[in-house]
Amino acid sequence: MTSADPTLLDGDVMLARAVACLDAIRARRPRVHVLTNFVAMNVSANVLLAVGAVPSMTFRAEAMPDFVGTSEALVVNLGMLDAERESAIGRAVPAARDLGRPWLLDPVKVDRTGTRRELATSLLAQAPALLRSNLAELGSLAGQGEASGEAILLAPRLARSAKTVVAATGPVDVVADGDRLARIANGSELMDRVTAMGCACSALLGAFLAVERDPFLAAVAGLLVYGAAGEIAAERANGPGSFLPELLDTLYHLDAATLAERARLS
Amino acid sequence: MTSADPTLLDGDVMLARAVACLDAIRARRPRVHVLTNFVAMNVSANVLLAVGAVPSMTFRAEAMPDFVGTSEALVVNLGMLDAERESAIGRAVPAARDLGRPWLLDPVKVDRTGTRRELATSLLAQAPALLRSNLAELGSLAGQGEASGEAILLAPRLARSAKTVVAATGPVDVVADGDRLARIANGSELMDRVTAMGCACSALLGAFLAVERDPFLAAVAGLLVYGAAGEIAAERANGPGSFLPELLDTLYHLDAATLAERARLS
Amino acid sequence: MTSADPTLLDGDVMLARAVACLDAIRARRPRVHVLTNFVAMNVSANVLLAVGAVPSMTFRAEAMPDFVGTSEALVVNLGMLDAERESAIGRAVPAARDLGRPWLLDPVKVDRTGTRRELATSLLAQAPALLRSNLAELGSLAGQGEASGEAILLAPRLARSAKTVVAATGPVDVVADGDRLARIANGSELMDRVTAMGCACSALLGAFLAVERDPFLAAVAGLLVYGAAGEIAAERANGPGSFLPELLDTLYHLDAATLAERARLS
């Protein structure tokens, strides 16, 4: 642990990395195994397919070694956690660690139930490459209530204590690994009116982890792509219903020039 | 029980209440816990978000006290009833009653399986604020086959015998509580060609129960909002695929003037 | 088993049968019970509703006799196979056989996990009317890897050995029953970028099995309708997000003239 100020990265370097990641996903079509909640499954699969990755979503415990073993990254989402999926997580995370696959933790709604917070805490001790959460969940895991902290303070603190990269999404996304810090100011308020947008973001970050070894850069790249696409989609949509088709279409077509024009990184 | 004719309410009064409910949902953003089937989850969450409510959908039995306790209403949908959700219902309904939260019962497809009809009957004895069903399900619960009754006769009868409010949806929706009766003639046939439109209606009614203490008025208000939005969306859509995005966009933007212009209440 | 070349059917005859099937589905509104994975449920239900069929999707084992008994066809999809659905399949398939209901097997991702391949093999021995798969799954079941065969060779071989009709979907769909062979060259690459398009195709084929006694002709008719609608939807869509609404709208409106104009059968 250090009390030194985190390093702010260069925006152009991060933008170039985001473009390289997107190109790599489209070229290599990585397989991403996503253990997620029932509301988010279809949307998450479509977000991954739209950028070029290949999702699988089985949560049968005994199938975890086969599916994690044939994937390049694992996403673990705690939303609507039923017993069978909890059991699958218990098989999938050790399999990912044994095989050297990066895995992401999305601690959905840990601020609303104590048992889930305990599980998230125990999973955080099993070396996820990346944690993605909203501010309320971040506050809950960092030992504070929702109102008592800002992402820009809580994310580096949790990153240091848990020795992982933390991506906190909100009006401004924050990525921190204890040493480095980045802010992404893209996105749209309309995304709060569409279900599973955070969960689908986590699924998408799985594809970026599959092609970029540095989870900090993978998170910045993925959040930039998602935020820029969300911003464009919100401009084109007439409301939350037309937003989702627009988001998928935009992710599918997103190019380097558009990303450069939109990026609000700091 | 009374044999007197039910009272027909004044359309302008009900319209004003519908507008007030919609304003209250947008301002207070009530949390609604929805125990529903897998086909309906995503759509139900998006309908609730579009009007401004905040859905949760966990069906882990042990999480029910936490989630019901932090919600303002509970929706119980029996569609595709798996064992884990059935167990969650057994925890959630008593929790809602203990905490004084209104809860809604949607007895999906009780006309097609005897075990589910038995469960619905036992749940009806646990004082739901509101029952929403289609005509076939209503007939099954009221002790008659689909062909043997009309909603306008069956709904008041079931409302009296079960001491609850009954909202029967169809070409003309009927709301009855034994004393009062309302008919809402909005909506579109196209909604029968999109899955989970009835289930999503029940989820939406949960938000109205959260802001309006009288479940009869909550049901009329919610069905009017849903029916008017459905009617507008069907006019804008090219078929059942474009209908759903249009429905969500319409719910998001729906205002008092449009509601007044569309309302066909009696 | 025969080593003779399979018979190629007449395109005009098959087209006329496809139109007749579509008319019959719209007129008779058959009930189709679909045991499918969580990603595919909503989409599959909407595809069935768009053509006029009536889906149900319960996977509670004890409800299988009631639901299969009140349906005209059964669809069994092995994607994301959880224990409860596997148990339901074990009840539903014998019920369908006892009642003389045609049933379809979709062996999702049998190429990625050995336990699922074993289950698919044992189900294949229980006389499905139709098997629908992609090339990788077909290769796995026909005893060869993905790279080692073409659908046009593997489909007739598996059809003969399993004594069923095999529909292998891909850039060109192949339907074989050992004696007969048909190729459908409709569809769009964009369908590979939208989740559950293969699963929804299997669900749709259930509706065709419900109205056409010859499963070979049912498969050709269903694949033609789905491929033509997919092709039209892809032309109208801006990407994978707008594709799905367009697909449902197109299925809903599809007429004989459009089908005749689009059909690429051989």
Q: Dump pLDDT digits (tens) for C80-94.
A: 998 999 999 999 999
Structure-token match 């992609």, residue found? C134
Give the pLDDT of residue B3.
44
The CA distance from A257 to C11, in Å, is 47
Average the pLDDT over B224-228 and give the result.
Answer: 98
With an 8 Å Cβ cutoff, is B242 touching chain A? no
**DSSP assignment of B92-114:** HHHHHHHHT--EEEE-TTTTT-H
B contacts of C249 (beta carbons < 8 Å): 237-242
Find the Cα–Cα–Cα–Cα dihedral A226, A229, A231, A233, rounded to 10°. Answer: -130
Surface-to-core class of residue A71, CB atoms within 10 Å of its CB (0-12 exposed, 13-18 middle, 19+ buried): buried
Q: In this structure, what token pair is assigned to residue C85?
A: 């659905």
Surface-to-core class of residue B170, CB atoms within 10 Å of its CB (0-12 exposed, 13-18 middle, 19+ buried): middle
Average the pLDDT over C66-87 and give the result.
Answer: 95
Q: What percent of chain C has a predicted confidence (pLDDT) above 70? A: 95
Taken in order B21, B26, B30, B31, is the CA torsion positive or negative?
positive
Please, which pLDDT band fits residue C219 given cuts at 50, 70 and 90?
Answer: very high
Give the tens place of pLDDT for each residue, A31-66. 999 999 999 999 999 999 999 999 999 999 999 999
Q: In this structure, what token pair is assigned to residue C59?
A: 């996977």
Sheet containing strand A7-8, edge to edge, reads A7-8, A180-184, A173-176, A165-168, A130-133, A103-106, A73-77, A31-35, A54-56
With an 8 Å Cβ cutoff, is B237 touching chain C? yes
Residue bearing the bigger pLDDT, A2 or B143: B143
The half-sphere exposure of B229 on its side-chain side, counting CA atoms within 13 A, is 30
Give the pLDDT of residue C137.
94
Residue bearing the bigger pLDDT, B143 or C43: C43
Give the pLDDT of residue B206.
98
Please, which pLDDT band fits residue C3 given cuts at 50, 70 and 90?
Answer: very low
The CA distance from A156 to B188, in Å, is 52
Please, which pLDDT band fits residue C206 given cuts at 50, 70 and 90?
Answer: very high
Give the tens place of pLDDT for each residue, A90-135. 999 999 999 999 999 999 999 988 889 999 999 999 999 999 999 9
Please, which pLDDT band fits residue A1 given cuts at 50, 70 and 90?
Answer: very low
Q: How far apart are the first and last CA of chain A?
A: 23
pLDDT tops 70 at residue B2: no
Residue among B46, B86, B108, B193 with most chain C CBs within 10 A, to mutate: B193
Give the tens place of pLDDT for each residue, A183-201. 999 999 999 999 999 999 9
* Cross-chain residue pair A112–B250, CB shorter than 8 Å: no
Surface-to-core class of residue C58, CB atoms within 10 Å of its CB (0-12 exposed, 13-18 middle, 19+ buried): buried
Contacts 24+ apart (CB under 8 A), B1-10: B1/B160, B1/B161, B1/B178, B2/B160, B2/B178, B2/B179, B6/B156, B6/B176, B6/B178, B6/B179, B6/B180, B6/B181, B7/B179, B7/B180, B7/B181, B8/B180, B8/B181, B8/B182, B8/B266, B9/B180, B9/B181, B9/B182, B9/B220
B contacts of A240 (beta carbons < 8 Å): 46, 49-50, 248-249, 252
Give the pLDDT of residue C145.
53
Give the pLDDT of residue A149.
75
pLDDT tops 70 at residue B8: no
State the angle between helix axes of B11-28 and B215-236 in degrees (0 to 180), rounded to the nearest 10: 80
With an 8 Å Cβ cutoff, is B46 touching chain A? yes
**Amino acid present at C8:** L
Q: In this structure, what token pair is assigned to residue C17?
A: 């049968």
Average the pLDDT over C118-144 and give the result.
Answer: 93
CB A223 within 8 A of CB A169: yes
**DSSP assignment of B195-250:** TTHHHHHHHHHHHHHHH-S-HHHHHHHHHHHHHHHHHHHHHH-SSHHHHHHHHHHH
What DSSP element (H or E) covers C66? helix C64-69
DSSP class of residue A38?
T
Q: How far apart are the first and last CA of chain B?
A: 23
Sequence-ordered alpha helix ranges (H) in A193-236: 197-211, 215-236
Q: In this structure, what token pair is assigned to residue C182?
A: 């048909």
Please, which pLDDT band fits residue C178 given cuts at 50, 70 and 90?
Answer: confident
With an 8 Å Cβ cutoff, is A58 touching chain C? yes
Write out the E strands in A40-151: 54-56, 73-77, 103-106, 130-133
Which of B49-53, B101-105, B150-154, B258-262 is least confident? B150-154
Give the pLDDT of residue C43.
98
pLDDT tops 80 at residue C252: yes
The CA distance from C49 to B88, in Å, is 30
Sheet containing strand C103-106, edge to edge, reads C7-8, C180-184, C173-176, C165-168, C130-133, C103-106, C73-77, C31-35, C54-56
pLDDT tops 70 at residue A237: yes
pLDDT tops 90 at residue B244: yes
pLDDT tops 80 at residue A143: no
Give the pLDDT of residue B149.
74
Give the pLDDT of residue B113.
83
Global pTM reads: 0.95
B contacts of C245 (beta carbons < 8 Å): 241-242, 244-245
The CA distance from C42 to C45, in Å, is 5
Please, which pLDDT band fits residue A11 given cuts at 50, 70 and 90?
Answer: confident
CB B179 within 8 A of CB B9: no
With an 8 Å Cβ cutoff, is B236 touching chain C? no
* Nearest chain B residue to C88, by CA: B82
With an 8 Å Cβ cutoff, is C253 touching chain B? yes
Residues B249, B253, B254: CA angle, nearest 5 degrees: 110
> Any residues with CB less than 8 A from the CB of A202 and at least 6 apart, and which?
A36, A44, A75, A77, A104, A106, A132
Give the pLDDT of residue A2.
42
> What is the number of residues in chain A?
266
Give the pLDDT of residue A3.
44
- Distance from the Cα of A65 to chain C's closest Cα (Å) equals 9
Please, which pLDDT band fits residue A148 given cuts at 50, 70 and 90?
Answer: low
